[in-house]
Amino acid sequence: MKETIVVVHELYPELLDSLKQSFDIVHFTRLANDDDRARFREAMSHAVAFIGSNVPFDRALIEQSPKLKVVASVSVGVDNYDVETLKAHDIVLTNTPEVLTEATADTGFLLLMMAARRAGEMNRMVVNGDWKASLGRDQFGVDLKGKTLGIVGMGRIGQAVAKRGHFGFDMPILFQNRSAKPDVEQSLDARQVELEVLFREADFICVTVPLSAETEGLVGRELLSLTKPQAIFVNIARGKVVREQELIECLQDGTLYYAGLDVFEKEPLPADSPLRTLDNVACLPHIGSATHETRNAMCDLAAENLLNVIAGKAAVTPV
């Protein structure tokens, strides 16, 4: 009898078909309603493996999945998983680092540029038929070239954003990181500073730190009120790294000039979120890694991790 794998993701069809040759696949594109969630829990009660994303793995789910050997996340962030409980149950957790770094850094830079040139507002003006004359000073944006870029969390994605700024736009780089990064200071001519210094001195700030107990709510009014008059703040990490209500208030009262956001406290963004109507924010629907090439590479790596663990081999990228 074939063993069961639970998939909660849009795996590309060829990969799904190849898994189906060796396993019973219970497939959800996403867990959209209570019925899906009930069927998901039932399938997990006899599954040996899970592959997917955006499913919170709490203690109860882990304890109700007695045959589970591997959780192959199609993401680099692992904030959805109770890592300690998985470890205590000898369940291997894997993620997909590296393969999504460049696409996510592109999204960071896209938001930096959208915010700098107020691209969301300008697009709405054209689409709504409000482009009636050549633009005036009230509609001008700001340059990137030569401005200081501050990175919060100088890991893989942070460094890829910083490289774009340093080599592409002559931007001096400041960064804050948990551990020292003398190699990055050298290769990008960057300066590691305290968070307050970064928020005070940077023209563009990009958050690329993982969500954890230490980083939840890291950015709020205290830091945002240190920013320069035309500072641009971008979050491509996780929504909960920022205290969203305080961010909204800072955008509303002018404490913060502009924000670019790929991630939010609640996703999809609720219908009544003021972020939907503020002019000085550019929002994207969590598209960090969402290119065909990158998502396929993430799926391939997750599947390789899963198959390795089931075959009794080491995962390629264990957490």
Place of tokens 């998901």: 40
Give min distance, CB of 187 to ligand NAP, in A: 14
Q: Which two tokens stand for residue 161?
A: 């954003």
One-letter identity of residue 244 = E
- Please tell me which residue in 118, 243, 286, 295 is annotated as part of the active site: 286
How many residues can be counted in the chain?
A: 319
Q: Burial, 129: exposed, middle or buried (Cβ in 10 Å; 0-12, 13-18, 19+)?
A: exposed
- Please tell me which residue in 124, 267, 276, 293 is annotated as part of the active site: 267
Is the Cβ–Cβ distance between 49 and 70 less than 8 Å?
yes
Torsion of CA 254, 257, 263, 269, to 10 degrees: 40
Nearer to ligand NAP, 71 or 263 (CB): 263
**What DSSP assignment string belongs to 9-77?**
S---HHHHHHHHHHSEEEEESS--SHHHHHHHHHHHTTEEEEEESS--B-HHHHHT-TT--EEEESSS-
Nearer to ligand NAP, 162 or 263 (CB): 263
Is the Cβ–Cβ distance between 48 and 5 less than 8 Å?
yes
Residue with CB nearest ligand NAP? 155
- Please tell me which residue in 238, 243, 244, 295 is annotated as part of the active site: 238
Nearer to ligand NAP, 108 or 120 (CB): 108
Give min distance, CB of 237 to ligand NAP, in A: 5
Nearer to ligand NAP, 44 or 288 (CB): 288
Active-site annotation holds for 200: no
Torsion of CA 145, 149, 154, 158, to 10 degrees: -50
Give min distance, CB of 50 to ligand NAP, in A: 19
d(C-alpha 68, C-alpha 93), whole Å: 11
d(C-alpha 257, C-alpha 275), whole Å: 14
Give min distance, CB of 200 to ligand NAP, in A: 17
Active-site annotation holds for 286: yes
Active-site annotation holds for 221: no
Give min distance, CB of 165 to ligand NAP, in A: 15
Give min distance, CB of 257 to ligand NAP, in A: 22
Nearer to ligand NAP, 125 or 197 (CB): 197
Sheet holding 24-28, edge to edge: 24-28, 4-8, 47-52, 70-73, 92-94
Q: Where does this chain bind ligand NAP (CB under 6 A)?
A: 76-77, 97, 100-101, 104, 153-158, 177-179, 208-212, 214-215, 236-238, 262-263, 286, 288-289
Neighbours of 285 (CB within 10 A): 11
Nearer to ligand NAP, 65 or 73 (CB): 73
- Catalytic positions, written as ranges: 238, 267, 286
